[in-house]
A and B are shown apart, each in its own frame.
Chain A
Amino acid sequence: MRLHNESDRVKREVLARVARALFAEKPEALDRIPLQMRPKGQPFSRCCLYKDRAALRYRVMAALGFRGEDETDELRPLAAYAAAVPTRTRNPEPFISILTEGCSACLESQTTVTNLCRSCLARPCVGNCPKQAVHVKNGRAEIDRERCVNCGLCAKACAFHAIVQVPLACADACPVDAVGKTADGLVAIDHGKCIRCGRCQAACPFGAIMACSQMADVILKIKRGRRVIALPAPALAGIFPNDPAKLTGALLKLGFAAVYDVAAGADETARREAAELTERLRAGAAFMTTSCCPAWAETVRRHLPGLAGYVSHTPSPMRLAAEMARADHPDAVLVFIGPCAAKRTEATFYGDPDHVLTAEELGAMLIAADIDVDACDPAAPTRAGSRAGLRFAVSGGVAAAVGAHLPDSGAPKPYVISGLSPKTIRLLATFAKTGKAPGQLVEVMCCEGGCAAGPCSFEEPARAAARITAQAAG
């Protein structure tokens, strides 16, 4: 469950205010955003009003697609950054930007004994520690930092809840150990290990891990009269509480020239992947994994090179939907929209679509333009997907869609990995090592539950998935 979270609200308000300034062609308004959001005499959330405003300034920079790390002049007006957006020819990659002013330099994740410890007779903390790291000294359990591996068994065993595991939100959220610390204790991301999943960003309670948005590029291209085409992901149909036809209408009202549903690309992905799987099995392969999840593609590239030969070569629904739109409109600006962080990296890598927006950024644009989706006229996309294509957004849906193109008898068995974690990544590594998997078609989704649970969303994952499942059932 995604709980209400003030950090998310601040992030979305910044995006909406930036979008409003750009739609109104008033870039000078950007420099006022930190002051408007933290006016004199009002409560503030950090040590003082001025630090809040400094942090907001960097949030505006990220919303415009610039990394605070690259700042050379602290007095450069935000309006000057906005003026530089149209000259940008590449999307920011890596897109993660650290808000140093925001990072609270939280303690490393550790297991700690509190003063609730009663130095009991049973001492399960001592007895259950696999590393002999717990000892009782001076009437209280103590943990030897050198030996402790932070497994938490002592905390689970304690009858008094006297031992706690203090988490480090950002690093604990990372499935590939890419989030660490600088010498000053601030968050540092190893971009060589990072799979772009966006979990650290969603997890940080200080909102100190930000993404450089491409929203400004999209708005300015719409404003300058370019033909900008929206490619909404199937997950959006679950994230917005509205009739999907009204969401299509809202995209057109926002200034997109046409809408090509990524679900249409998903249908094509399923068709091709079924053919590819049949071909590979005939050639003697033991299994094939899906290729549509970009964080999974990055995981293979950066951590599981032994599995590279097993990953399908079929392009993702995003790329195939982009191909359809590109064939009809060679000069258009193509914009994928979904709850995924990693799609940015996939689009940058392949060069098409031109931009990637998140569900939150689309939400911010609708807010800025005073568009209520429910009040929009329903519209049909230029290319629509089938129900099977829609189900790509929920775990198991890709395997089911591919399976529908395979013969009923003797069909390859699917095996679904719903959520990348250290545990499932270790499991996948054994598939590479042994050349065997529990199914012939291994569907891998980085986000637990599938894209409906993507990190750049404002909806609770279970509700988004339920809406998609209901729509797919008709």
Chain B
Amino acid sequence: MLHLQICQGTTCYVMGAAQLASLAAQLPEDLRGRVRVTGCRCLGLCRDGAFGGAPYVTIDGEVLAAATIDSILAALRARLQEAHP
């Protein structure tokens, strides 16, 4: 099971994480049961002017910057593909 963490820190929330929260409830069928979606406190990735990359998410610890629903789904599918080609 992959672990998708959506940063809920203020920077990420303002920059678009609020719109990513719906992913938890509305995972596409092919990903259901294969991905665990959780929110997390500020990961600190936005500090020192790096806020241009927000919202940040991590998939099994690997950081994805400027995350959108599309880019998250693509990254999740690529990982599952790698694991079970």
Binding site for B on A (CB under 8 A): 1-6, 8-9, 12-13, 16-17, 20, 36-37, 240-242, 250, 360, 363-364, 366-368, 370-375, 458-460, 463
Contact = CB atoms under 8 A, between A and B. Distances in A.
A241 B68 CA distance: 19
A131 B15 CA distance: 46
Given A4-B20, A4-B69, A13-B51, A458 B14 contact: yes
Q: What 4 pairs across the A-B complex have the smallest Cβ distances?
A: A363-B14, A4-B19, A372-B42, A367-B11
B13 A4 contact: no
A367 B51 contact: yes
Contacts of B54: 367
B18 A16 contact: no
B8 to A, nearest CB: 6
B15 A374 contact: no
Contacts of B16: 4-5, 8-9, 458
Contact of A374 (B9, B46, B48, B68): B9
5 contacts: A242-B10, A360-B14, A367-B10, A374-B8, A374-B10
Main secondary structure of the interface of A (DSSP, over half): helix
B61 interface: no
Interface in B28-85: 41-42, 46-49, 51-52, 54, 66, 68-69
Nearest to B20: A4
B40 to A, nearest CB: 11
Interface of B: 8-11, 13-16, 18-22, 41-42, 46-49, 51-52, 54, 66, 68-69
B19 A2 contact: yes
Given A16-B51, A363-B10, A367-B46, 8 more contacts: A16-B11, A36-B52, A241-B13, A363-B13, A372-B42, A458-B13, A459-B18, A463-B21
Nearest to B8: A241
B9 A4 contact: no
B14 A364 contact: yes
A168 to B, nearest CB: 24
Contacts of B69: 4
Contact of B10 (A3, A36, A37, A366): A366
A37 B52 CA distance: 8
Given A4-B69, A241-B8, A363-B10, A374 B42 contact: yes
Most A-side CB within 10 Å, residue of B11, B14, B48, B49: B14
B69 to A, nearest CB: 6
A373 B19 contact: no
Nearest to A15: B14
B15 A373 contact: no
Contact of B47 (A1, A9, A250, A370): A370
Nearest to B52: A13
A403 B52 CA distance: 47
A257 to B, nearest CB: 21
A374 B7 CA distance: 12
Contacts of B13: 240-241, 363, 458
Nearest to B11: A367
Contacts of B41: 372, 374-375
Contacts of B48: 370
A367 B14 contact: yes
Contacts of A37: 52
A213 to B, nearest CB: 15
B19 A20 contact: no
Nearest to A16: B51
Contact of B14 (A250, A366, A463): A366
Most B-side CB within 10 Å, residue of A8, A36, A241: A241
A32 to B, nearest CB: 12
Most A-side CB within 10 Å, residue of B18, B48, B54, B69: B18
A388 B11 CA distance: 30
A13 B15 contact: yes
Nearest to B51: A367
Contacts of A373: 10
Contacts of B10: 240, 242, 250, 363, 366-367, 371-374
Contacts of B8: 241, 374
Contacts of A4: 16, 19-20, 68-69
Nearest to A459: B18
Nearest to A370: B47
Most B-side CB within 10 Å, residue of A5, A20, A370, A463: A370
Contacts of A16: 11, 51
B28 to A, nearest CB: 16
B11 A458 contact: no
A280 to B, nearest CB: 41
A7 to B, nearest CB: 11
A149 B49 CA distance: 51
Nearest to A375: B42
